[in-house]
């Protein structure tokens, strides 16, 4: 099973009190997707993008949202030990927070790529993860983390000219997530996504290679409550 989540810190209630109705709907969709993933698998592989580049982060890691204003602690696994990593990347903070919110004992391993990772690199990671999951006798959940286009609100000229392009990009992503269209995700343009600050492009292209055809998509949420587009979806095998 696959859950697709965004990564805004406003998901965490302690970081954004007095949330709007749209944010409350987003949080509910994220909780639904994470709970369903935990019901299908207690070991997750979380794929996200981070400027620190390609690396693997094991389930022993700990982190905190202190850098976003409140010291909400996060662990990636039940045996996480040692000190908290002040630089644990945002996708993994969200992964650990979402896992904890399910109420289940979940172990999360992080797989990170640079935001500008070319499509072939995403496909290579996806193929390796697909082979790993296929050979594991226990179910493995895939958590794919990243945002859609983020071109702001208001009249900033840097963003106004990109809004039609951003809308078309997000429409493509929405349709692909809803239909489990791996070809559409694999075909996303890396340069365009980078210009739109869409951090989900690389993780979504990993998803396309991990799954391939034969999956059913369900879109739980897609909106831009604060100038960035957030998508939540769940994919399940169709057979």
Domain range holding 120?
Answer: 2-237
Q: Across residues 21-28, what is the average pLDDT?
A: 92
Mean pLDDT lowest for which of 13-22, 68-77, 180-189? 13-22
Domain count, the chain: 1
Residue 233 has what pLDDT? 98
Mean pLDDT lowest for which of 59-73, 107-121, 127-141, 205-219? 59-73
- The per-residue pLDDT of the chain, averaged, comes to 93
Whether residue 238 is predicted with pLDDT greater than 80 in this model: the reply is yes
Q: For 80-107, how does the pLDDT look when each residue is reduced to its tens digit (9 = 90+)?
A: 667 778 889 999 999 999 999 999 999 9
Question: 3-state class of 79 per DSSP?
Answer: coil
Query: Is residue 129 a contact partner of residue 211, using CB atoms and an 8 Å limit?
Result: no
| 154 against 129, higher pLDDT | 129
Residue 206 has what pLDDT? 98
CATH number at residue 122: 3.40.830.10
Whether residue 154 is predicted with pLDDT greater than 60 in this model: the reply is no
The CB density around residue 199, as the number of other CB atoms within 10 Å, is 25
Residue 153 has what pLDDT? 54
Whether residue 51 is predicted with pLDDT greater than 90 in this model: the reply is yes
Give, in degrees to the nearest 5, the angle at Cα 131 between 119 and 63. Answer: 70
Q: For 157-207, how does the pLDDT look when each residue is reduced to its tens digit (9 = 90+)?
A: 556 677 789 999 999 999 999 999 999 999 999 999 999 999 999 999 999
| Distance in angstroms (rounded) separating the CA atoms of residues 120 and 130 | 15
Which of 85-89, 126-130, 221-225: highest mean pLDDT?
Answer: 126-130
| Distance in angstroms (rounded) separating the CA atoms of residues 169 and 174 | 9
Q: Where are the beta strands (DSSP E) in 128-229?
A: 140-145, 215-223
Q: Which residues contact 58 (CB under 8 A, 6 or more apart)?
A: 76, 77, 109, 110
């Amino acid at each position: 099973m696959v859950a697709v989540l965004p990564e805004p810190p406003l998901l965490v209630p302690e970081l954004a009190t007095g949330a709007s109705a749209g944010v409350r709907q987003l949080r509910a969709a994220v909780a639904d997707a994470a709970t369903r993933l935990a019901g299908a698998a207690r070991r997750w592989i979380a794929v996200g993008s981070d400027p620190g580049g390609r690396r693997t982060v094991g389930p022993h890691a700990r982190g905190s949202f202190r850098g976003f204003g409140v010291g909400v602690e996060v662990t990636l696994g039940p045996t996480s030990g040692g000190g908290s990593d002040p630089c644990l990347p945002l996708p993994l903070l969200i992964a650990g927070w979402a896992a904890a919110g399910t109420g289940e004992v979940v172990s999360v391993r992080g797989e990170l790529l640079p935001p500008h990772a070319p499509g072939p690199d995403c496909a290579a990671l996806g193929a390796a993860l697909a082979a790993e999951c296929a050979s594991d006798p226990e179910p493995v959940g895939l958590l794919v983390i990243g945002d859609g286009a983020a071109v702001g609100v208001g009249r900033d000229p840097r963003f106004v000219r990109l809004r039609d392009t951003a809308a078309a990009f997000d429409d493509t992503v929405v349709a692909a997530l809803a239909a489990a269209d791996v070809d559409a995700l694999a075909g996303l343009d890396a340069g365009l996504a980078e210009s739109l600050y869409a951090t989900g492009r690389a993780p979504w292209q990993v998803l396309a290679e991990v799954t391939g055809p034969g999956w059913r998509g369900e879109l739980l949420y897609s909106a831009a409550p604060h100038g960035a587009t957030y998508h939540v979806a769940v994919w399940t095998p169709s057979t």
